[in-house]
Structure 1
């Protein structure tokens, strides 16, 4: 590869030369067998379906498709209107919390924080996929996905990927703080090969400010929806490189969402703190119980308070959702999350931050230990 140039274009040229009679991509030096969590690469290679090295133009199969242009996640004309991020807790609430911490013995709180951190950090032998979905849009599904991605990035020391599987103008790149997007899931299906190393893969991903990586479903424009085959190909290929992959799915009952929920190691269903939201989520839990391999044992519900004026009794809502035997984590209303735009971990309210860690711990526990 050339030094100082666009190495991604060099990769495309190399693959194109191999397809036209040069060195075949399959004869490149094999990548190191070390993986994010000690995954066995041979198993993934055997399962990875063959894919063309480069996406082709429909009108001329001999000409490689050009690399996509970078597109800003937020229109620059609108970005100036985002304003300064506000803290999730008011100044008075932050002050009161600090005073209570000074007066109360810290032993029990520290022990619980340590336990949750150990759950989030537990080692894996193969990449784990955690799928996040909901019964409808606008209930905090992408927000929860971004919170999980940032929490795993903060606590873990191995690679973490946030993958967007919602092509309906998804907002995960914005919530994760990505400034621009370039390559999408569909683009990578024609590029990924089993011999690629992690450093090759990350060149096609969006780096996240707090650590970790992001792969968007598209470039924020209306287009063809993400299909099941593309989702399966990308997730199967990428889980070799990442210890944890958080998938922001489309809403149920979408086909990709159902596939993701059926094939993930753990599932998070986001329920809004409303009577109809809780009732609909309970129906989803009943559906998960009827899958060929019952998924309730690996499912967690995130009960999200999307408004400060919620009147539904949280204890009653939690009890109703827990009846099938799933844990429920209450995500309280947070001013910073409600503001929209990029999520800044330092600006989250303490309750929202604690809930994110608890949710990550519950999901990781089920992704690793529950069979």
Structure 2
């Protein structure tokens, strides 16, 4: 999950899309918060453990079975598990590319699908590893003009840094973080990103998601649930055939 701009609902899309996959699929799905600062992904599910990715990396040599890793994640009602980022600023260290590689190497042993919620921007330390490993990039934009410009700038940056093929295979999500006022021609926004990305999906505004708290998919409006299932189908279309573990961010 990528975005140059904060406030576009990137973490919410990571949690709801991951939760949708976890609900539909019979295997394990985990979302990892790769934000270099205190990310908020863990706030989208009931907190079951104070452990973070730092604790997982500290104990990484001791994992032999799924139950060993499960003690470091929190699980929501959708069955999505979340691995939190470090939330203590006094203890936080930069989450490096090597840290991300080591984390994913463990997760892919026990989970069939790994969702990565990146921090805002594209220059933080783990991004090179995320771009190298992700099967599908999902660029999130709000339905506003500045949100669309920021998402387009994200694609421009990827193009300029040798990721043209990833841009063509990416999925753009237009996220309704606020109720529609009708002032933005949404079809023009969709058409713009359709020319650059493999697919564009619109997730409508939903009062439950606006709360910014723990997410219960059963509380979403039917149109929101339908949009998320459609997004999951589009993302799954891009998974490489025969890959045992799908990773997207």
What TM-score bracket applies, with the shorter chain setting the length? Answer: 0.7 to 0.9
Deviation at 1:251, TM superposition (A): 1.5
TM-score normalized by structure 1? 0.60
Q: How many residues align?
A: 239
Query: Please, which of 175, 178, 187 is the counterpart of residue 55 of structure 2?
Result: 187
The residue that corresponds to 2:24 in the other structure is 155
Bigger drift between 283-292 and 272-281 goes to 283-292
Map 1:206-285 onto structure 2 (within 5 A): 206-219=74-87, 221=89, 223-255=92-124, 256-285=126-155
Does 2:156 correspond to 1:286?
Answer: yes
The residue that corresponds to 2:169 in the other structure is 298
Change in CA separation of 1:297 and 1:243 when aligned onto 2, cut-off 3 Å: farther
Alpha-carbon contact 1:181-1:216 (below 8 Å) kept: no
Higher Cα Rg: structure 1 or 2?
1
Structure 2: runs of 5+ lacking an equivalent: 244-249
Name the structure, 1 or 2, with higher relative contact order (CA <8 Å, separation 6+).
Answer: 2
Alpha-carbon contact 2:169-2:197 (below 8 Å) kept: no
Alpha-carbon contact 1:262-1:295 (below 8 Å) kept: no
RMSD: 2.2
1:233-277: CA deviation from partner (whole Å, max 9, x where unpaired): 111221121100111111122332343133201111101111122
Using the alignment, how far apart are the partners of 1:146 and 1:269 within structure 2?
A: 14
Deviation at 1:293, TM superposition (A): 7.0
Alpha-carbon contact 2:77-2:216 (below 8 Å) kept: no
TM-score normalized by structure 2? 0.87
Using the alignment, how far apart are the partners of 2:164 and 2:61 within structure 1?
A: 30
The residue that corresponds to 2:226 in the other structure is 354
Map 1:44-55 onto structure 2 (within 5 A): none
The residue that corresponds to 1:127 in the other structure is none
Does 2:198 correspond to 1:326?
Answer: yes
